[in-house]
Amino acid sequence: MKGIAVCVSGEGSNLRALLAAQRHGTLGGTVTLVVADRDCRGLETARDAGIPTGIVPPSAYPDRASWDAALATALAAVAPDIVVLAGFMRVVGPATLAAFPDRILNVHPSLLPAFPGTDAIGDALAAGVRVTGVTVHVVDESLDGGPIVLQQAVSIVPSDDDDALLARLHAVEHRLLPRAVALMLAGAAAVEGGRVTIGAARAAELPHRRRALISVSDKTGLADLGRGLAALDFELVSTGGTARALRETGLAVTDVSTVTGSPEMLDGRVKTLHPRIAAGILADRRQADHRAQIVAAGIEPFEVVVVNLYPFEVASRRAGIAADELIEEIDIGGPTLVRAAAKNHANVAVVTDPARYPELLAAMQGGIVPDATRRSLAVEAFAHTAAYDSTIARVLPAVLEDGSAGSSIDPFPPVLDLRLERVERLRYGENPHQAAALYRRSGTSSASGPFADGVRLLQGKALSYNNILDASAATALARDLRGPAVTIIKHLNPCGAAEA
């Protein structure tokens, strides 16, 4: 296993991110030494993890060159394959650079070459830029000017101050830095002609942590699902209320905004509509070209997508609900995620029904979800979004109709979709060699309709298709009579009827 030396000066959050990647098997090496220029919390993190530490304080040396030589000696003692400056607030000098040529990485909170130096965040805010970001680069003799390994943009919003922007940048640093280290250690990234080139084919083969995207309106079974996926070492990526619910159970969650680099917008209307999410779901990992493209873009794939949609139909039944209020219950991002995952079911398991969570977790105990299960889940997912859109198309015209003259909303659309729920499979159809099933309109009571499908069979075999037809006709006839009644039907023909 290749060795990694890390230099820190403060809290050590990037060190913790490196150690987390090491635990998950995605770092490609082991942290063997942590060096600081002062006593700091980062050293405590290293000691707690059983990692050797050292302090090389500049105040102990007569000049910068002497300090730099001492730093190089301390690092060389463990012969690391790479040195990582993780929040190290010192500029390394010629001795350290010569000891580790093209093998020192630094993470910086801006899109270099913009805003180098120690106050990159303040400089970006002062300049009024709309986008900043995170850069991981190879260290050379310039100030934050070495060859760039990876970058990710982070949007700046009008309400941002130093602390708010710093928090979002840190979250991106914690993802980007371990990935850059893994690329360099594997030889998938290398300095050539003053620039870093990334071998997409090699990079695509590097291990990555399994990821699940979870965004649900119905929180039923969510805690058990989250715990089950975490036990399988999945990274849980989530949004809003779902992320809060998962965190309340003690689970670690990555916010979608960390993945996208953009905070939620428009009161939550825009959260997951982003190429970093869509590409992570839609990439067909069976194709080398797709793997290479997402690696080049720094995008990690999703293996599981769990989404159920805003409860539009339930909201539509609330008495007196206003049109604007109901429209807010129309899910936009959710159906997009579901359809994308269902389309790419060869690589992604998509779940829209909480009742399926136990089956999903059971299937994953043996590794990936079986093809047959993924296909079945995809069919359910498309049915889920189709029914959702059908409900909106059916309900919305009446809600938007304001009764004004000249309204363009047609109360009798040219096409009506009828949604049915299966009640049971029947013994056979009209003839014994034909299959059949009984359905009822979705959302209706089992006691509704000309024949109540919820009735109890007193004796005999399960009802067949012909039995259902006869029973339906008999029930309809009995209801036309004036009191308690009995009817007899054979092949849809009334054979007798009486009333009390």
Q: Write out the catalytic residue numbers.
A: 343, 491
Q: Are strands 189-192 and 235-238 parallel, antiparallel or unpaired?
A: unpaired
Query: Which residue matches tokens 């949604």?
Result: 419
Residue 116: asked if its preceding bond is cis (omega within 30°), the reply is no
Whole-number Cα distances in Å, 174 to 13, 135, 212, 336: 8, 12, 18, 28
Calpha distance 232→210 (Å, rounded): 9
Q: How far is CA 69 from the centre of its chain?
A: 46
In the three-class reduction of DSSP (H, G, I as helix; E, B as strand; rest coil), residue 463 is classed as coil
Query: Which residue matches tokens 């699902």?
Result: 225
Give percent helix, percent strand, percent coil of the chain, each to the nearest 5.
40, 20, 40
Question: Mind spelling out the 3-state secondary structure of 247-272?
Answer: HHCCCCCEEHHHHHCCCCEHHHCECC
- Cβ atoms of 91 and 118 within 8 Å: the answer is no
Calpha distance 275→27 (Å, rounded): 25
Calpha distance 197→408 (Å, rounded): 58
Q: What angle do CA 57, 60, 64 make, to 5 degrees?
A: 80
Name the H helices within 24-80. 41-48, 64-76
Calpha distance 351→413 (Å, rounded): 32
E strands present in 184-274: 189-192, 195-198, 211-216, 235-238, 254-255
Name residue 246's amino acid. Answer: L
